[in-house]
Structure 1
Amino acid sequence: MNNTNSPNTLTDPLNWTTAIFMTVNAIFGIACNAIIVYNFATSPKERTSFNLICAARAIANVVILGLGFLSLFVPLTIFGENLFPPVHHAIVITIINSLYTGLQNCGFLIAINRFVAMFFAFFYSKYFTPTVTFILTAAMFAFRFYRMGDDIIDNINKQCFSTYSSVYLTWFPTRDPRCVNKYEDVFDLTTLLLVGLVLINIATFVKIYLFYKSTEMDSKEIKKRIRKNRILFSQTIIQDLAYAIDMTFTFKLSALSMSRLWSFICGSMVWECVHSFDGLIMIMFNEKLTFLKKSFFDSSSPNSSVGPQGNPNALFSPRAPAPVV
């Protein structure tokens, strides 16, 4: 983008409004995700296989919000895109996009975690230990770091730089025909991943439903537990859908208008909200941190939080790997 055609960013109301929004949203998201990491690090009871994946997600969210939005997008929005050289834009954008892909992989790993726990409980307790989960998560992010470094070196050698525009208030891949657009198939790949996640989650939910139907409980208790799991299942699907919604705005809806406000909404606002929302959801449905326990989990009931085999909240935690952990 050519900065000579840019408005005076220091006096433009839209630039200041978007910069303030991104700053407040990033700080809120960093706080939410930092709470998840702190809770995992300081509470031995929270150090489960599932919570380890959540902590990894939270760390990636913090890096994306801090490095991408607070340290790059916000200052460029206020002071103009020439504040940093194009190579700096490209390096940061490559890092946060690679971590974004890693977060999608975490969602798939969580879905597999729950699926195996529900259908292959013996194998789950034997193989899905925190140590094994740590190795899998570390290997996944190690691959992302490798791809990240490879992309950065390749882009520098070819001078193919993605940049953030202080005019359109979002980032753009390079328009140079010599460079390969590595993002052109992202939407289709994300759609396929989402379909896989939905199918796995539906199978898990059906298993939970059939489990309660087969247990000897009065119909009122069965209905209450099924209702709770439906609520939690819906929350899980919403969290997985957030990434598809972001991709839809970024790669599809952004073409509907070239207004500055619309490009900001499609390219920056929705993307940032995904990572803040992700941290908030993990807090809302963490057994220790949630403020919805009374209304959603009926904590006042002595039996409402006990899942099969005496495991508290085994089937009621929205991301719980469940009945045997």
Structure 2
Amino acid sequence: MKSKKSIITAGINTLQAEAQAILGLINHINDDFAVIVERIIAGNGRVIVTGIGKSAIIAQKIVATFNSTGTPSSYMHASDAVHGDLGMIQKTDIVICISKSGNTPEIKVLAPLLKQCGALLVAMVGQLESELAKQADLILNTTVEKEACPNNLAPTTSTTAQLAMGDALAVSLLLAREFSAQDFARFHPGGSLGKKLYLKVSDLAERNAKPSIRSGASVKDVIIAISKNRLGAVVVVDDSKIMGIITDGDIRRMLEKYSDLADLTAKDIMNSKPKMIDKDTLAVTAFELIRQSNITQLLVTDANDYFGIVHLHDLLHEGLL
């Protein structure tokens, strides 16, 4: 068993090697890179990304990133390609073939077949003299000095470089398409990332009750209204005008402050300066306001009129934490 110090050193050395490999890619962002982005933007087909082994796993991640950022893409395993999946490739497509060596048996068989399909062939490759590089129309150079593995065998630095080059390509495409946060939200409606970009306070407040009470209401009526609607608060309203809010905390403070409750009304115990938020505000903004103000609910307004209440639990339920 290695010492704790040697284990930590190995981890640090791995990260340093991979960081240096990524920085080395900067010198490989060249005219081919720019042309690939231009061809993808101008094309009418899909981007098909293929590879074998660990490169195949990187290909799947790149496809996922492309699709989520506005570049229609498909994954094709290099082995499956020669057993029928080549039929998915059209002349209008762009194929990115990923391989460290560019000379594995499967890639050497696949490369000329890809050329025969008539699609543009892009090689993401670590050896520029390889068979894949020779067959390719354009090259994404992911050459690394060595693997982080001490035996220089396990794909580590090389796959990190492939992943980083894929991200560089995806972000360049995103910017070229002027892909906005709203576009991103359209492709991520079910996840917390998408919700942060499209979910509004009104979407949550509409699901809740809309408790209200007059300013002259008794303490008993206030407590009943708070308990009945299970939001921990009731809004004090007179003639459609928001007067204030009474929360569970206000009730506790009232009991500490007053010994005689008989003549108290809602107006006496309400917070006349409640935290409010417009119904069209993003829910994630409401969460930040609740967190910063150390409260559990916000009064939601519509052009200064009472719209509803949004509770901390509503926001947590949506995964906005």
Q: Calculate the TM-score normalised by the size of structure 1.
A: 0.22
Structure with bigger RCO (C-alpha 8 Å, 6+ apart): 1
Structure label with greater radius of gyration = 2
Determine which structure has the larger helix proportion and give its number. Answer: 1
Q: Which structure dedicates a bigger proportion of its chain to strand?
A: 2
